[in-house]
Amino acid sequence: MVAGRIDGVCVRGIVGCVPEGRETVDDLARRFGEDAARKVAAATGIEERRIVAPGQCTSDLAEAAARRLLDGLGWDPASLDLLVLVTQTHDQVLPGTASLLHRRLGLRKGAAVLDITHGCSGFIYGLWTAAGLLRAAGRRALLLVGDTTSRLVDPDDRAVAPLFGDGAAAVALEQDEFAAPIAFDLGSDGAGAPYLAAESGAMRHPGRPARLFMDGTQVFAFTLREVPGSVRAALDAAGWTMESVDHLVLHQANAQMIRHLGQKLGAPAGRTVVALREVGNTSSASIPLALAGALAPSLNTASRRLLLSGFGVGWSWGSAALVVGPLALCETVVLPGRKCPAETAAPASPTS
């Protein structure tokens, strides 16, 4: 387990991006039956998911979020020293998706880029990595997280098909000597690898598509076993109490599990964020999408103490306690359907 604090790095803005394609409970009912679809929605809190169009890639969502964020902040892409991308669904085997976005976003030659292959804990790992590298050298960094998990899901698998949606987010980080420290706790346990996995069709079974497998019972047990301790460790590293936290934002996988964890952690009523009803489980993007959606009005106008925790595939988990806001920009945009690859993202529009 890794715990500690990073000083002097501030979040300046957050933009989420979701595709315009949707799959609703009514769509699932036509495939699995009305009763089955409604039971899943009631159990998980997920009533629809956003799904990328044929040919769209993770980079398209990330690029649209990044462009809107840079434009909104008035940041020249050439002013970025670092780009960190977190995804499990890369555009291609190589080169890394961060290198593709370096060119498409117009970053300066010599800016550092880094791909991290992480899922549900990926936003915390990406924040830790980007903040640490920025603190060591540089002034501005862009953290991009996103997954197109729908590509890994068997549409006829009722255990996972109703759960996973696609999305991405961009977070702007900047050195600031007056910024409050960011406290982290991170850990992993490779014993959990078999319980949430998608074997690569290209590697082990040429010609066979990669399909996502999830043992929900094992996932739930792991979450209850590891997450509370990680959250409390981040609180301790920050010197905070749960009562002093304005918002608890957990990985948005299942509404019942989120509420159960909030109660277990002693979060005051109304401070645990549940924001997956219209997007589903968006893997690495779930926490920043919740920030850019449910908390945008709050973060755009005031400073807030946030306690974040991501957990899942690996097993892997990470928690962070940080002060965010008021932000120059915090919103979500929608990427229209189109083909990929392309040199630039289609214009993204704000969500309604």
Question: How much of the chain exceeds pLDDT 70, in percent?
Answer: 93
Q: Per the residue annotation, which of 247, 251, 254, 330 is the catalytic one?
A: 251
Choose the catalytic residue: 10, 120, 247, 330.
120
Mean pLDDT, to the nearest integer, of 35-62?
95
DSSP code for 348? P
| CATH number of the domain where residue 207 is located | 3.40.47.10
- Does 134 fall in a domain? yes
DSSP 261-301: HHHHHTPPTT-B----TTT-B-GGGHHHHHHHHTTHHHHTT
| 247 assigned to active site | no
Q: At what angle do helices 58-73 and 97-105 cross, to 10 degrees?
A: 40
What does the DSSP 8-state code read for residue 91? S
281 is catalytic: yes
Residue 350 lies in a domain: no
**From residue 273, how far is each of 97, 257, 260, 324 by CA, in Å?**
30, 12, 12, 15
Average pLDDT estimate for 214-224: 94
Confidence category of residue 207, pLDDT binned at 50, 70, 90: low
pLDDT in tens, 75-112: 999 999 999 999 999 999 899 999 999 999 999 999 99
Considering the domain boundaries, does residue 289 fall inside one?
Answer: yes
Residue 88: closest CA among 313, 318, 344:
313
Sorting pLDDT into bands at 50, 70 and 90, what band is 186? very high
Could you tell me which of 304, 321, 317, 305 has the C-alpha nearest to residue 183?
Answer: 321
348 is a domain residue: no
Q: How many domains does one find in the chain? A: 1
How many CA atoms lie less than 13 Å away from 303 in the CB half-sphere? 6
In the predicted model, what is the mean pLDDT of the chain?
Answer: 92
Residue 342 located in a structural domain: no
pTM: 0.93
- Specify if 77 maps to a domain: yes
Q: Are 139 and 79 in contact (CB under 8 A)?
A: yes
Residue 93 lies in a domain: yes
Quick check: is 17 catalytic? no
d(CA 11, CA 62) in angstroms, rounded, equals 17
- Domain membership of residue 13 as a residue range: 2-336
pLDDT above 50 (res 352) = no
Give the tens place of pLDDT for each residue, 143-152. Answer: 999 999 999 9
User: Does residue 325 fall inside a structural domain?
Assistant: yes
Q: What is the pLDDT of residues 341-350, one digit of tens each?
A: 433 444 455 5
Asked if residue 326 has a cis previous peptide bond (ω within 30° of 0), the answer is yes
